[in-house]
Amino acid sequence: MPTIARIEIIELDIPYPHPFKIALAVMNSARNIVVRVHDSDGLVGVGEGCPPRFVTGEAPETAFEAAKLYAQLLIGKNPLEINTRLRELEQYMLKNPAIRCAYDLALYDLLAKHAELPLYALLGGEKKVIYSNRTIGIDSPEKMAATAKQHVENGTKAIKVKVGTGKAEDIARIRAIREAIGSGVPLRLDANQAWDEITAINILTALAEYEIEVCEQPLPYWNFEGLKRLRERSPIAIMADESIFDAHDAFRLASSGAVDYFNIKLAKSAGIHGAMKINAIGEAAGIKCMLGGMSESLIGVSAGAHLICACPNISLHDLDSPFHFTEEPSIGGVDFQPNGTVTLTDAHGHGADMKPEWIQKSKRIVIGE
């Protein structure tokens, strides 16, 4: 049986062409961690984690150090015993979901390569075309409306809009966007925890006429009871994002009837293994799921696309993070068109890896051998 021979840990710093603003933060680059797990048979599994301190509680610096500790734990062990390996990571150190995600994706990629299957097939899925929304960061109503219009002209089927700076401003943004794009293309709002209950119900009531499909995380992550009260009064469906990291959160939200949708993000769920548990709870409770993203390159996006193909209950897709970069640091993986169309290949695993020049120029350490 193969063993894990060495592990490369790489810290990416991928610039954005201009600052990307959400209610929680302003981001100038994506600082992600990639792990490349080499086994004794010569195969390499590749995974990526996005550790935004304002969501997962991690930072690139802490995630890089945690990755080194996890690598030392895995060296010499069988990578195909994936459930055991992931349990060891979870039990070794509390939390750290984004860096555990990087290892989860790498091990699933490696397992699929040993099986000589694309990842979606390993997970029991079938290849299909995926349609991602395009996301617009917080800006002036005029600039956001112009961006939305361009996306619709390119053929985008849904638009996600960041909000959360104030009632008047948020309403003005959505009104301007809807007037610019006309009817027929659904809008998905993301408040990133910015509102209290009174503000949320006032804004959502005012926006009901603008064809809003769902509002994501309107309240602080801890306010499960508030989400339930808001859902009971809101004319717009409610989605949990920062409130749902694992299966325990999913069970609490489903049991209380607090939300209409779960937003599964691999960096929150510690990867595919945890994401499938959340989706299963949602499916059992009649709650549809979105597969969302942080700031993943095509490595993380490709893994997410393969998961979508194996989980029909994941009906909404938010995978457009690579379009916010000045340069893509990875090669292979899915084909992502500007209109949000995502097409998988039949390469073994998820099909994506780092560009050699990015490996060379990025902060990097090798554990093992």
Question: Quick one: 10 and 106 in the same domain?
Answer: yes
Domain encompassing residue 287: 122-352
Question: Quick one: 181 and 107 in the same domain?
Answer: no
Question: Quick one: 74 and 131 in the same domain?
Answer: no
Question: Quick one: 150 and 100 in the same domain?
Answer: no
- Name the burial class of residue 334, with classes exposed (0-12), middle (13-18) and buried (19+) by CB atoms within 10 angstroms of its CB: buried
Candidate list 104, 170, 213, 241, residue with the active-site label:
241
Verify whether residue 216 is a known catalytic residue.
yes
Of residues 94 and 187, more confidence is placed in: 187
Detail the DSSP E strand segments found in 65-217: 130-131, 134-136, 159-162, 187-190, 212-216
Distance CA 34, CA 101 (A): 10
- pLDDT at site 369: 74
CATH number at residue 28: 3.30.390.10
Alpha carbons within 13 angstroms on the beta-carbon side of residue 200 total 31
| pLDDT (tens digit per residue) in 53-73 | 999 999 999 999 999 999 999
Is residue 148 within 8 A of residue 181, CB to CB? The reply is: yes
Is residue 249 within 8 A of residue 82, CB to CB? The reply is: no
Indicate whether 261 pLDDT > 80. yes
Candidate list 160, 162, 268, 288, residue with the active-site label:
162
Question: Quick one: 253 and 319 in the same domain?
Answer: yes
Question: Quick one: 180 and 54 in the same domain?
Answer: no
Question: Quick one: 219 and 138 in the same domain?
Answer: yes
- pLDDT at site 152: 98
- Written as six digits, the tokens of 266 are 């691999």
Percentage helix, strand, coil for the chain under 3-state DSSP, each rounded to 5: 40, 25, 35
| pLDDT (tens digit per residue) in 150-209 | 999 999 999 999 999 999 999 999 999 999 999 999 999 999 999 999 999 999 999 999
Question: Quick one: 267 and 186 in the same domain?
Answer: yes
Is residue 35 within 8 A of residue 67, CB to CB? The reply is: yes
Candidate list 113, 160, 265, 268, residue with the active-site label:
265
Q: State the average pLDDT over residues 66-91.
A: 98
Question: Quick one: 172 and 61 in the same domain?
Answer: no
Number of domains in the chain: 2
Verify whether residue 196 is a known catalytic residue.
no
Residue 39 region, left (φ>0) first, then alpha (ψ -120 to 50), else beta?
A: beta
Question: Quick one: 345 and 219 in the same domain?
Answer: yes
Q: Which residues have CB under 8 Å from 65's CB, separation 6+?
A: none
| pLDDT (tens digit per residue) in 116-155 | 999 999 999 999 999 999 999 999 999 999 999 999 999 9
Alpha carbons within 13 angstroms on the beta-carbon side of residue 53 total 8
Helix (H) or strand (E) holding 248: helix 247-256
CATH number at residue 147: 3.20.20.120
Candidate list 58, 104, 190, 353, residue with the active-site label:
190
Cβ contacts of 81-90, under 8 Å, gap ≥ 24: 82/107, 82/108, 82/111, 82/273, 83/273, 86/270, 86/271, 86/273, 89/270, 90/270
- Written as six digits, the tokens of 54 are 């304002």
Please tell me whether residue 183 adopts helix, strand or coil conformation. Answer: coil
Written as one letter, the residue type at 246 is D
Question: Quick one: 49 and 172 in the same domain?
Answer: no
Distance CA 111, CA 79 (A): 7
Q: In what order do the strands lie in the sheet with 341-343?
A: 130-131, 341-343, 335-336
Question: Quick one: 284 and 316 in the same domain?
Answer: yes
Residue 30's CB is within 10 A of a number of other CB atoms, namely 23
Of 303, 297, 289, 290, residue with least CA distance to 344: 303
- pLDDT at site 57: 94
Q: What is the mean pLDDT of the chain?
A: 98
Candidate list 58, 216, 296, 353, residue with the active-site label:
216
Verify whether residue 241 is a known catalytic residue.
yes
In degrees and rounded to multiples of 5, residue 325 shows phi and psi of -90, 155
Proportion of the chain above pLDDT 90, given as a percent: 100
Q: State the average pLDDT over residues 18-44.
A: 97
| pLDDT (tens digit per residue) in 285-333 | 999 999 999 999 999 999 999 999 999 999 999 999 999 999 999 999 9
